[in-house]
Amino acid sequence: METSVYVGTSLDGFLARKDGDIEWLEQFADEDAMRSYEEFMNKIDAIVIGRGTYEKVLTFPTWPYNKEVFVLSTSIKKVPDTLKSKASMLSGRPVEILNFLSGKGFSRIYLDGGKVIQSFLTEDLVDELIIATVPILIGSGIPLFGILKNDLQFNLIRTESFSNGLVRSYYKRERDPNRNMTGH
Amino acid sequence: METSVYVGTSLDGFLARKDGDIEWLEQFADEDAMRSYEEFMNKIDAIVIGRGTYEKVLTFPTWPYNKEVFVLSTSIKKVPDTLKSKASMLSGRPVEILNFLSGKGFSRIYLDGGKVIQSFLTEDLVDELIIATVPILIGSGIPLFGILKNDLQFNLIRTESFSNGLVRSYYKRERDPNRNMTGH
């Protein structure tokens, strides 16, 4: 079981404006960014999003995900009939969600949306962070990160930067530094 | 007149913990990081810090700055006699501070401390941002960025990444995109 986050953020750490607007971010969605995101998505077998992301995505002209989607919500109980083969609703704590998905045979989980990401980070249940930072400060909005119980140390795997100003960094959670140090 | 920010931050955008602790950050202050900071400091001719940074720095075994320091504070009126040749107190709005420093013949200003950085960013008075991001989430603390009046777009000049996981990105404020586009 591996959980991944792949997000675009402003330089001040926001995923979207308060009203969900991401126009400032979309100007950086060039061919390279799309290819990188597709490569990532090809390795994923299920997607977990929150209600906010779900409602945003419903306003898109087409359903953007090509893997099975699980929407975390306590208020919405079912998806429209047209989405029945693509998405289903779930509720529960992050560890319960992962146990459920594991039981269904999923092993590479993509977490999306500020609240979902924060709730899994709080439980130290995020294994991979891929963060594409765009060179703009927007001042306020929906934050990527939130309060934690403990510090979480990551390993930087690699960083890529692009002429449009986007910097993409790949991190893996460093869960047991002693094991890494003696593992060579 | 050029203003620069050079900071180390956690992956979630904090300069220090709430109590000012930066031990989590200092583990990344290796030889390369020190050299980079020294190179930056050599190009600077005055430093503007806030009261929080000033009080933190007073707890250090030695005064860490080798350029003239101006401390922004409305509550503290004078520095101890031992610091008289190194630091002085100032108060005023960011634009007044820059006019004062310009009148004194300074032209390359280093801004340090969360509140100082935020107050100058709010007035769009930051020309250069150098951000060294370390691969650790600390969950809460003194934030680098705050609320703005307007979006601020920057140009990415370059990004460097290091085996200890530090990623350092150099940004310059993009003040007039039309001029850049027709300037070639």
Which chain B residues are Cβ-neighbours of A11 within 8 angstroms? Answer: 129, 131, 145, 154, 171
Evaluate whether ipTM surpasses 0.90.
yes
What would the mean pLDDT of B74-81 be, rounded to a whole number? 89
A35 CB contacts (<8 Å, ≥6 apart)? none
Residue in this structure with the two tokens 């700055």, named with its chain if needed? B65
For chain A, say whether B92 makes contact (Cβ under 8 Å): no
pLDDT one-digit tens code per residue, B95-113: 999 999 999 999 999 999 9
How far, CA to CA in Å, does B75 sit from each of A156, B38, B122?
Answer: 42, 31, 22
What would the mean pLDDT of B58-75 be, rounded to a whole number? 92
Q: How far apart are CA B36 and CA B133, in angstroms?
A: 14
B180 pLDDT tier (thresholds 50, 70, 90): very low
A74 CB contacts (<8 Å, ≥6 apart)? A91
For chain A, say whether B134 makes contact (Cβ under 8 Å): no
For chain B, say whether A148 makes contact (Cβ under 8 Å): yes
Does the pLDDT at position B76 exceed 90? no
Q: Do B145 and A13 touch (CB under 8 A)?
A: yes
- For residue A77, the model assigns a pLDDT of 85
A181 sits in which H/E element? helix A177-182
Does the pLDDT at position B24 exceed 90? yes
- The string of DSSP codes covering B47-70 is EEEEHHHHHHHTTSSS---SSEEE
Please report, for chain B, the start and end positions of each structural domain, with discontinuous segments joined by +. 2-182
By C-alpha distance, which of B40, B17, B52, B31 is closest to B136?
B17
Q: Show which of residues 11-50 on chain B sit within 8 Å of chain A, judged by CB atoms.
A: 11-13, 24
Q: Do A145 and B171 touch (CB under 8 A)?
A: no
Q: How far apart are CA A106 and CA B56, in angstroms?
A: 49
- For residue A175, the model assigns a pLDDT of 85
Q: Do B165 and A144 touch (CB under 8 A)?
A: no
For chain A, say whether B165 makes contact (Cβ under 8 Å): yes
Q: What is the mean pLDDT of each run of 10 residues along chain A (184 residues)?
A: 97 96 95 95 97 90 93 90 93 96 98 97 98 98 97 98 97 75 38
Nearest to B169 among A150, A155, A167 (CB): A167
Query: Which tokens sit at A64?
Result: 């953007």
Give pTM, 2 decimals. Answer: 0.93
Number of A–B residue contacts, CB under 8 Å = 101
Contact (CB, 8 A) for A168 and A160: yes
Interior angle at CA B133, CA A32 and CA B48, nearest 5: 125
* Phi, psi (degrees; rounded to nearest 5) at B95: -65, -35
What would the mean pLDDT of B26-32 be, rounded to a whole number? 94
CATH topology assigned to domain B2-182: Dihydrofolate Reductase, subunit A (3.40.430)
Check the CA dihedral A29-A33-A35-A41 and report its sign. negative
Nearest to A153 among B136, B159, B166 (CB): B136
Within a 10 A sphere around the Cβ of A60, how many other Cβ atoms? 8
- For residue A181, the model assigns a pLDDT of 44
